[in-house]
Chain A
Amino acid sequence: MQNRPLPSRLFCRNDAAMAQPALIKTFAAMLLSATCWLAAGSAFAQDAQPLKVLRTSFRVAETGFDCQRLSDVYSNDVCAQIFDTPLEYDYLARPSKLVPSLLREVPVPEQGGLVYTFRFKPGIYFAADEAFKGVKREIVAADLEYSIKRLVDPAMSSPNSWQVDDRIVGLDELAAKAKKDGKFDYQAKVAGLQLLDRYTLKITLKKPDFNFLYVFAMPTLTPLAHEVIEYYKDDITAHPVGSGPFKLVQWVRRSKIVLERNPEYREEKLDTTYANPNDEWDREVVKSIAGKKLPLLDRIEIYPIEAEQPRFLAFINGEHDLLPETPPSYAAQVMPNGKLSPTLAAQHVRAFVELQPELTYDSFNLDDPVVGGYDAQHVALRRAMAMGFNRGQEISIIRRNSAMAAQSPIAPGIVGYDPTFTAVDQDYAPARAKALLDTYGYVDRDGDGYREQPDGSPLSIEYKISSGGLSYLMLSQLWEKSMRAIGIRLNIVTVQFGDLIRDQKVGKFQLTGAAWIADYPDAQNFLQLFYGPNTGSSNNARFRLSAFDKLYEQAIAMPDSAERNALYREMNRYILAYVPWKLGVHRSYIHLMRPWVKGFKKHPMYHSRFKYLDIDAVAQQAGHQ
């Protein structure tokens, strides 16, 4: 990276023209331009302050930056750097803790979790954009009201509308009316969204909800300027305008995203309240960036690279400074035996190992006549299949040991996660699996090596995966082998990605693989995948057990407490008993960075948090020699 002089226009700001005699004006102009020229020249000469540029990659390409309309992780991640949200997660606190960002304080649940009052900080402005026609635009509570309405606008068909669907009084009725009228009336008043004053919004919910605030840490529910939306119309995905620490300056789709510092970003410094003095990463963060005005980076270049080898080699070769989520295939090379490889250690590369708040799993279809059902015989089939699958090989060979066997659907680091909870009948136990199948009548009667159903009809189960890409290929190979070893015929069926999603949602499958990453750090986000009424929207296993549903409904009306954790434990026991899922693993990722990247601590709920990163530009230049 070569040096660039600081733009000379920073030193040549023109004040409003003054009514001066022409001569003085001319003289002043000459003096000014001479100064500019000298300043620029000295910047050239001195290598004064090299720009702080971070180059990194995404492992999946982005789609666009209208985060209400799009829901993929990486587009959201870029939005999170451009938009401020009402609330955010504290950078250092673990487990995740909500702290105010645009709001003055975290709203306290009122009336038993029915009402929340949002009080915005005054004096925060959107970044300058031509849509504002030169006016400096302050963020007001009405912008959040507009944003909430836009999320449920039928014309948006937003995949994120579930965040507010059926929660806010009067909102769903307005959306239904908009569907009938063909147009959403943004001026109409919604009973549950009350503007108390310029900076205050009072939200009233239909039912008590103690997890409601989490959605306001996501870039989907950030205050939006309606002028920008109306100005750019369909091009809005290329023109995100927020008040955040960075602005989008260049976008070559699926190839390069460039962010630059927002010069008008408000005063913000690292909050060290929750820093843990015993954590080495916390110590480094505090040492590097405490007390400094954020953001520290001048420019960020993000390169989406979906192929593993090029993305990995780009970091190793020095083309990139930060490698988030090292491809698992190279994990053993980067950290053999759990320690950083000598080559990388010699280059002072640092590695952050993170157990992400997610899990992989294989889902049965509980409505299927062969594998579904709640009676002992069918439960036995699913339990046997779960025990027949060689999860040990999945972890050691496919995941290269960078994974933890999941004991429940709840991921580590999530509120409600119990580190002592150990599952039963989910680990590899082929003898028990075979014995169980024998007990319940799944025996091989015709000697072809595969078992039949208890009534004698042939047993053949389909494992459905997507045809594009090799991601589930090895896993499906392992499934086929494991099932063959216990005598169950498993056919791997590949379909187009879009069709796979559809088949999973409408229940046209027997067994399929998937993964779920936390949208917010509460166990409810995972357990809602088993809630009966969610069948067809997020409950793809179509699990409908009234005992489970009753526990779930009790739990969502409670805040985090020992009683709620007891309910979660009960729900987990039902899941283990009826096996709607074969639990997979929680994957761990290694994030690599060069020694000149400072201030890094991977937050489980964010993919990137660039406003806290710093680059030692001198060391970076030296490193490239």
Chain B
Amino acid sequence: MNLSTFVMRRLLHMIPTLLGVMLLIFVLFNWVGGDPAYILAGKISDPKQIENIRTQLGVNQPYWVQFWIFIKQVCTFDFGRSWATNELVSDVLLTRVVPTLTIMVPVLLLETILAVLFAVLVAYVRGTLTDRMVMLGCTVAMSISFLVYIIVCQWLFGFKLGWFPVQGWSDSFITNLVRYAPLPILLAVMVDLAPSLRLYRSFVLDEMNHDYVRTARAKGLSENTVMLKHVLRNAAIPILTNVGIALPGLFVGSFLLEVFFSIPGLGREVVESVNRSDFPVMKAITVYLAVLTMLTNLLVDVLYRWVDPRVAFK
């Protein structure tokens, strides 16, 4: 089949999945989402007031009415206002996504570049002590919890050494990028580098086991040329696939980082909206992320098939 049919098919497949996601979050919220009316009612309240709030929020209506409203909201991208702060939900999403991306995009770029670089270098010296030490180092680095990294690094670099501000975020993009983002970015790269390095190293080594590499060497090409022109090109496919899989995660970010560094991002927003039983925000973030995940998967699949002509559209 050709490209457009493939894309059409996949887009159609997205609809039942999206409905499934909506159903799941709807059921979850109504079953276990906590009662927002009591939080909004304040210290001193009576049942009359609670009922009043419930009606305002619309949770008194029968379930199918609420779900139908949900479907309409998804189609129009309008989820109304946050129950906790009365902010427009679309504003909430737009303003929160920028800080998250300010952290996550540099993280992804840095981490991919560094991981590929080190993977190639390590593949050069495969089997030697250096290789094994690096791999051991990666394994040890991966065994330490992210939480521990954050606690220790925030204390060490922010407090003890004073190299970075301990926390914070400003409204100027440049200030954020230059002053507030570096420490969280550094932390995230440190933590993500090890697993990526291991993975990319295995991709590169897999490639190097293929026949064409032996042929290239037999032809007398230098190791450099073999690695960079042939192996890396072919290893790029699984590497890019891996990057593609990580793309949706870019948008939700790391809520741990955001909580510890007071970054007003989407990850933190998810946790807070659950704690406050703020259903409109929860709905919006979930639907938005689900759609994004499916679209990026589609994009990655299309690119993959375009890059590797051996793979046909199925």
Contacts and interface: CB of A to CB of B under 8 A. Distances in A.
Contacts of B260: 307, 309-310
B38 interface: yes
Given A157-B52, A255-B262, A469 B43 contact: no
Nearest to A534: B44
B43 A63 contact: no
A255 B261 contact: no
Interface string A589-603: 000000000000000
A36 interface: no
Interface in B78-104: 81, 84-87, 92, 95
B236 interface: no
A436 interface: no
Contacts of A254: 264, 272
B169 interface: yes
Nearest to B261: A310
Interface stretch (B18-26, B127-135, B155-163, B210-218): B155-163
Contacts of A253: 85, 87, 92, 95, 264
A288 interface: no
B38 A157 contact: no
Contacts of B275: 468-469, 496-497
Nearest to A498: B34
Nearest to A537: B46
A317 B166 contact: yes
Interface size class of A (residues with CB under 8 A): 35 or more
Given A310-B154, A497-B34, A159 B159 contact: no
A505 B38 contact: yes
A310 B154 CA distance: 8
B125 interface: no
Contact of A501 (B38, B159, B259): B38
A227 interface: no
A305 B262 CA distance: 6
B158 A313 contact: yes
Contacts of B154: 309-310, 313
A407 to B, nearest CB: 23
Interface in B17-57: 32-47, 49-50, 52-53, 56
A502 B36 CA distance: 9
Interface in B137-187: 151, 154-155, 158-159, 162, 165-171
A302 B40 CA distance: 24
B170 to A, nearest CB: 8
A255 B272 CA distance: 13
Interface residues of B, number: 51
Contact of A317 (B36, B41, B158): B158
Given A317-B162, A498-B276, A157 B171 contact: no
Given A253-B87, A307-B260, A502-B35, A536 B167 contact: no
Interface in A61-98: 63-64, 66, 69, 71
B34 A496 contact: yes
Contacts of A355: none
A234 interface: yes
Contact of A63 (B37, B47, B85): B85
B166 A313 contact: yes
A23 interface: no
Contacts of B49: 157, 159, 161
| Most chain A CB within a 10 A radius of its CB, from B43, B50, B277 | B43
Interface string A508-522: 000000001001000
B168 A501 contact: no
A160 B151 CA distance: 39
A423 interface: no
A66 B167 CA distance: 28
B97 to A, nearest CB: 14
Interface in A287-311: 303, 305-307, 309-311
Contact of A319 (B35, B92, B166): B166
Interface in A422-470: 468-469
A336 to B, nearest CB: 19
Contact of A237 (B37, B50, B86, B165): B86
Q: Which 8 A-B pairs have the closest CB atoms?
A: A159-B42, A496-B34, A310-B167, A498-B34, A501-B38, A313-B166, A468-B275, A255-B264
Interface of A: 63-64, 66, 69, 71, 154-155, 157, 159-162, 179, 234, 237-238, 250, 252-256, 303, 305-307, 309-311, 313-314, 316-317, 319, 468-469, 495-499, 501-502, 505, 516, 519, 536-538
Interface of B: 32-47, 49-50, 52-53, 56, 81, 84-87, 92, 95, 151, 154-155, 158-159, 162, 165-171, 259-262, 264, 272, 274-277
8 contacts: A157-B49, A159-B44, A307-B167, A311-B167, A468-B275, A498-B39, A501-B41, A536-B46
